[in-house]
Structure 1
Amino acid sequence: MADKNKTENKNENKDKRGKRLIRQIDRTFVPENTLALWHLGQESMVVKGSGMIAYIDPYLSNSIDEQFGNSPRNFETPISPELIGHADLVLITHDHPDHLDPVTVRAMAIASPHATWICPAPVVPQLAELGIVPDALIGARAGDMIDFRDMRITPIAGKHEEFKTDENGNHLFLGYVIELNGVKLYHAGDTIGYEGLVEALRPHRIDIACMPINGRDWKRYQDNLMGNMNFREAADLGVAIGADLLVPMHYDLFAFNTENPSYFVDYVHHTYPHQKFKLFAPGERLMYAAEESDEELELGDEE
């Protein structure tokens, strides 16, 4: 019995969820030129660096299934949103409910009242209706850089099957290039590849590219499920922009709109054998340290 209890305690300590995961995020020390990342499922991520904690597209409830049915989560949320009292910034890529979840937004608005929220400019009214005060809201426009404390954010237009804009030409689907603590991360949101995307991203010299791989097809489109890049397109895009590390997303949470990540692994392994990638378990942490640039290496050789 004692040995069994020891094994259970050991497994429990390894399983970072809920308050344990919150404590890990709070206590994680992030050195210079480093980012700490946690993947929470679907496209939900936590980013920490320079003393800041940012959440991206947090879907941390079961609200879609509760509202529409036939949409249960494949795994429990690693964090309940009412526990998140440490968020400095929340980024929303678009208004679909697995990215802008009303239940999560309302709970985080109460738990992290000091947080700033960034979303596509046309989506600002929706967040305001969910309790985000105007002073905490920033409407993002593709190509217009946003400086938030030590973070620089460049919104990138997303083409979620198609481009969608409001009457002022502001895109409803965005990705974000985030520059923080010497690391550059691209969170694509929901998008397919399109002409000009590589050219928009390559100058940023992306370190980490987080991209959907669930793809698209006629049946899902008929069911009003807008599509994304597939595993080949995501890998090809990541390599084309020169990303150091590729992170696939949007393949794990809903049985009706998923993909087998082993296809991504197999394709990268055989097509780009030197390309680094990372598959996350829900709630898993990654510490990413930016590599020295060619200029820094050459300077070091001269010294």
Structure 2
Amino acid sequence: MELSKWGHSCVRMVDHDVTVVIDPGGWSDVAGALDGADHVLVTHEHADHLAVDRVAAWLAHAPQAQVHGPAAALAPLEEAGVSPERLNAVQPGDRLDLNGLVVLVGGGTHAEIHPDVPRPANVGYLVGPVWHPGDSVDTPPEPARVLLVPAGAPWLRLADAVELVRAVRPELAIPIHDAIYSGQGTGLADSLLSRLGGAGEYRRTTSGETLTV
């Protein structure tokens, strides 16, 4: 499988002839990530994970592509004119077969930002060997060799991200959800996650850089 990150929490995975994109949000290179994609997986409805207008516009020119996510995350796409036949609601415990690529759905609820801020449904996706937890530090439903670890958010303590890496024990950990950081902040997060997490390898990638996992 080929894996690339396209800014913030947006990742693209290509396995044989199937291309899957997770969380093409407003802080990501949406066009680059979605080019030629077959399936879009959305963890939740927040704009940094789903750029509704741009995804809807892309779907108009990608007639075979399908979108999967919690019902509340799909509703804005339907309101933007996307056919309901192309929108597939998921929940934790589901097993998806995307043209032969197996995806397990986990998670459940967005991590708490503040008690006064509602917590929407948030799912994670185990795509082959790769776990994307969305806006949570939930562990995967089955062991994952590759962990996309959230590194910076209003809802996140870096200590919790470290504990996620320790719980998953991946061969490779790649930081995501990091658009809020300055250069100094990125360096601090990388130092703590790489030094304390215990992953086989911790690696920050540049936008569009492709790894074989």
TM-score normalised by L of structure 1: 0.61
Q: Please tell me whether residue 40 in structure 1 is matched to residue 6 in structure 2.
A: yes
Q: Quick check: 2:152–2:158 contact (8 Å CA) kept in 1? A: yes
Partner of 1:280: 205
Deviation at 1:268, TM superposition (A): 3.7
Residue 147 of structure 2 corresponds to which residue in structure 1? Answer: 209
Partner residue of 1:294?
none
1:118-137 equivalences under 5 Å are 118-137=68-87
User: Which of 42, 60, 64 lines up with 1:114 in the alignment?
Assistant: 64
Measure how far apart 1:113 and its partner are: 1.6
Is the contact between residue 9 and residue 177 of structure 2 (CA under 8 Å) also seen in structure 1?
A: yes
- Tell me the amino acid that sits aligned with residue 135 of structure 1: E
2:127 alignment partner, one of 178, 181, 184: 178
Flag the 1:112–1:260 CA change in 2: closer, same or farther, 3 A: same
The corresponding residue for 1:250 is: 177
Q: Could you tell me which amino acid in structure 1 is paired with residue 77 of structure 2? A: L
By how many angstroms is 1:275 displaced?
Answer: 2.9
Query: What letter corresponds to residue 143 of structure 1 in structure 2?
Result: G
Give the secondary structure class of the aligned counterpart of 1:142. Answer: coil
Of structures 1 and 2, the larger Rg is shown by: 1
**Taking structure 1 as reference, are residues 210 and 158 closer, same or farther at Cα in structure 2, changes over 3 Å only?**
farther
The verdict on how the C-alpha distance between 1:146 and 1:251 changes in structure 2, with shifts beyond 3 A counting, is same
TM-score, normalised with respect to structure 2 = 0.84
Supply the distance in 2 between the matched residues of 1:247 and 1:159 (Cα, whole angstroms).
Answer: 20
- Match for 1:130: what amino acid? A
Deviations 1:71-96 (Å, cap 9, x if unpaired)? xx6xxx64636x94511000111111
The answer to whether the 8 A contact 1:160-1:190 is kept is: yes
Provide the residue aligned with 2:157 in structure 1.
230
Secondary structure of the structure 1 residue equivalent to 2:47: coil
Which one-letter code corresponds to 2:147 in the other structure?
A
On the 8 A contact 1:50/1:150 being kept in 2, the answer is no
Q: Aligned AA for 2:18?
A: M
In structure 2, do the counterparts of structure 1 residues 111 and 267 end up closer, same or farther at CA, with 3 Å as the change threshold? same
What residue identity is the alignment partner of 2:8?
Q
**Post-superposition, which runs of at least 4 consecutive aligned residues in structure 1 deviate over 4 A?**
162-165
Change (3 A) 1:267 1:103: same
Q: Does 1:51 align with 2:37?
A: no
Corresponding position: 1:261 with 2:186? yes
* Range moving further from structure 2, 263-272 or 36-45: 263-272
Distance in 1 (CA, whole Å) between partners of 2:197 and 2:72 is 38
Structure 2 unaligned regions, length at least 5: none
RMSD: 2.7
Where does 1:73-222 land on structure 2 (aligned, <5 Å)? 78=29, 80=31, 84-156=34-106, 157-161=108-112, 172-179=121-128, 184-191=129-136, 193=137, 197-198=138-139, 201=140, 204-216=142-154
Partner deviation per Cα, 1:254-277 (whole Å, 9 max, x = no partner): 469x98222233224433566311
For 2:149 and 2:195, locate their aligned partners in 1 and report how far apart those are by CA, in whole Å.
Answer: 19
Aligned-pair identity (%): 22
Letter in 1 for 2:152: N
Do the aligned partners of residues 148 and 259 (structure 1) sit closer, same or farther apart at CA in structure 2, a change above 3 Å counting? farther
Q: Give the whole-Å Cα distance in 2 for the aligned partners of 1:111 and 1:234.
A: 38
Cα distance in 2 between the residues matched to 1:207 and 1:146: 19
Aligned residues: 209
SS in 2 for 1:146: strand
Question: For 1:263 and 1:124, how far apart are their aligned partners in 2?
Answer: 35
Q: How far apart are the structure 1 equivalents of 2:21 and 2:194?
A: 30
Partner Cα separation in structure 2 for residue 141 and residue 151 of structure 1: 18
More strand by share: 2
